Structure 1
Amino acid sequence: MPSRDEICSAIESYVTHLGNHDVDELVALFAEDAVQHEPLGVTSYRGLDEIRQFDTENAQVDFTVSLLSPITVTGKYAAMQLCVERAGMPAFAATDLFEFDDACKIVSLSAVIDPRALVDPVQGPA
């Protein structure tokens, strides 16, 4: 099982690559058979090809992200909140829940996205 430090480093890389719209580096963080639920309960992407296709389309959207909360880790699971800023919309929070394999690759990512969970990018949740 990966250590807390390894998981935190992987999530920090995820936030960086998501914000830079770097699809190749983002997809490299996932295991071959990973599942990405985004948004959770609406759409699931299975395997690297589907995740790559989603991330490629998502990279065309003008947005930035920053870590809004501490990364919390329990065993192979971790969660964090992002501040999402998108042109023409108020900044909002998204919560991501991760599961990692023994190689510290993401095997499951569930994104809870709520554009009505408004945040101040500088001060945090409203």
Structure 2
Amino acid sequence: MTGRAEIVTAIEAYCRAQSEQDAEAWAALYAEDVVYEDPVGIREVRGKDQVVGPIWNDIVRNAVRIWLTDTVIVCGSEALAILACEMGPPDRRRGLSPIVDQFRFDAEGRIVSVRGFYNLPEPVSAQTPA
């Protein structure tokens, strides 16, 4: 059974690995059958090869830096992390907050599910209001 301390440590490692673009550390966090849904309802990938492939490539391409902004909430083998991030090239860097990531862990402390919740930017209308 994975306890609170191990779960919090894994989530801290998740943030650190993304921010430092440490692919090996990031890949080590996941179970083979992980489901990664980010953002919820928009994109879902299944399997470690997809998470450490296309998802990781998006993180690196967008220079994502992510950090905890509040205490991790742990209940059994699941957790909620309240986060913020910066992403994009230096000349178009943008921030996003709050982000709530919901994690589920297996008995060995590996991530089996990540679900990312955040407000997507509103589409820009081509028309101006009258």
TM range (shorter): 0.7 to 0.9
In 2, the alpha carbon distance for the partners of 1:62 and 1:47 equals: 23
Q: Which residue of 2 aligns with 1:61?
A: 62
In 2, the alpha carbon distance for the partners of 1:100 and 1:66 equals: 19
Q: Which residue of 2 aligns with 1:7?
A: 7
Unaligned runs of 5+ in 2: 122-130
Q: Deviations over 1:1-26 (max 9, x none)?
A: 20110111111101100111222211
Secondary structure of 1:51's counterpart equals helix
Q: Which residue of 2 aligns with 1:120?
A: none
Which letter does structure 2 place at the counterpart of 1:74?
A: C
Q: Which residue of 1 aligns with 2:47?
A: 47
Say yes or no: does 1:30 pair with 2:30: yes
Q: Which residue of 2 aligns with 1:80?
A: 81
Query: Number of aligned pairs?
Result: 116
* Mean CA deviation greater in 60-69 or 28-37: 60-69
In 1, the alpha carbon distance for the partners of 2:100 and 2:119 equals: 9
Which letter does structure 2 place at the counterpart of 1:41?
A: G
Deviation at 1:49, TM superposition (A): 0.8
Give me the identity figure in percent. 28
1:89-100 mapped onto 2 (5 Å cutoff): 89-100=94-105
Q: Which residue of 2 aligns with 1:71?
A: 72
Unaligned runs of 5+ in 1: 117-126
Q: Which residue of 1 aligns with 2:127?
A: none
Which letter does structure 2 place at the counterpart of 1:66?
A: W
Measured at CA, do residues 102 and 90 of structure 1 come closer, stay the same or move farther in structure 2, by a change above 3 Å? closer
Judging by fraction of residues, say which structure has more strand: 1
Contact 1:100–1:106 (CA under 8 A) maintained in structure 2: yes
Contact 1:85–1:92 (CA under 8 A) maintained in structure 2: no
In 2, the alpha carbon distance for the partners of 1:111 and 1:43 equals: 10
Root mean square deviation of aligned Cα: 1.5
Deviation at 1:88, TM superposition (A): 3.5
Greater gyration radius: 2
Contact 2:72–2:81 (CA under 8 A) maintained in structure 1: yes
Measured at CA, do residues 88 and 57 of structure 1 come closer, stay the same or move farther in structure 2, by a change above 3 Å? closer
